[in-house]
Amino acid sequence: MVAYLSVQGKMPEMIVVGIMSKDRECDLTPTHSILGRDGTVDPYFENSGGGEKFTSFIQKELMPYMESHYNTQPYRMFVGHSLGRLCVLNSLVDHPGSYF
C-alpha cells in the first residue's frame, strides 16, 4: 500500500516497520482485563496490561535505532489493526506527540 500510494504521489516514501510479538494480548493492551466486579480475569486476556512497556520499547529503543541507522525524516505514522488499534489509541491519549 505504501509503495503504491507513494508512486501515485499521495503520500511520502516511508520505511515500514512491523513488530513481531510473542504475546500480543500483553503487548497491545493498556490495562489488565477483568470481566466483572468480582475481579475475575478474562481467560482470553490473562496476560493483558503490558502496553506501557511495549510503548516504552517503541519510544526508547525502536525509534532511536531507526533514526540512527536509516535516513529518516520527522514524518511518522503509528498504525495498528485490532488490538494494535487499541495500542495506537492508548498511545495517542497517554503519550501525545511522542512518536507520531
Q: Are 44 and 25 in contact (CB under 8 A)?
A: yes
- 33: confidence class by pLDDT, cuts 50, 70, 90: confident
CA distance 100 to 92: 8
Residue 83, domain member (yes or no): yes
> What DSSP line would sit under 6-29, residue for residue?
HHTTSS----------S-HHHHT-
Residue 44, helix vs strand vs coil: helix
- 99: confidence class by pLDDT, cuts 50, 70, 90: low
Residue 7, domain member (yes or no): no
Q: Find cell 493492551 and name the residue.
A: 29
Which grid cell is 65? 535505532
Determine the average pLDDT of the residues in 72-99. Answer: 87
pLDDT in tens, 39-58: 788 888 889 999 999 999 99
Domains identified in the chain, total number? 1
Residue 65, pLDDT > 90, answer: yes
Residue 68, domain member (yes or no): yes
Residue 9, domain member (yes or no): no
Which grid cell is 2? 505504501
Residue 30, domain member (yes or no): yes
Residue 100, pLDDT > 60, answer: no
The boundaries of the domain holding residue 86 are 21-94
Which grid cell is 40? 475475575
Residue 74, domain member (yes or no): yes
